Amino acid sequence: MPALIRILEGPDAGMEVRVYAQEVRIGRGVGCTLVLRDEQFNGQLRVTFERNTYWVKNETDEVGYSKAKNSPPEEFPPNDKRIWYHEQTVQVTARTLLQLAIVTEDEGEDELAAAIVRRTQTPEDVRRKRNRLYLFVTLAAAPLAVFLFLQPADAPDTPAETPTSVARQFEDVSDGLRATERDPKYGRSATLAGTLLRNARLNEVSGRRERAYTEYQLARDELARALGDLPTSPPSGGGGPDDRIRVAHAFAAGRVVALTPPR
Return the pLDDT at 134.
59
Residue 236 has pLDDT above 90, yes or no: no
By C-alpha distance, which of 237, 217, 75 is closest to 146?
237
Q: What share of the chain has pLDDT > 90, as a percent?
A: 27
Segments making up each domain of the chain, as ranges: 2-118, 123-145+161-259
Could you tell me the end-to-end alpha-carbon distance of the chain, in angstroms, rounded to an integer?
A: 50
Q: Confidence class of residue 112 from pLDDT cuts 50, 70 and 90? A: very low
Mean pLDDT along residues 54-64: 93
Are the C-beta atoms of residues 40 and 58 closer than 8 Å to each other? no
Q: What is the pLDDT of residues 13-56, one digit of tens each?
A: 888 888 887 889 999 888 888 889 888 899 999 999 998 899 99
CATH number of 2-118: 2.60.200.20
In angstroms, the CA 112 to CA 2 distance is 6
Nearest-angstrom CA–CA distance, 193 and 218: 8
pLDDT band at 83 (very low <50, low <70, confident <90, very high): very high
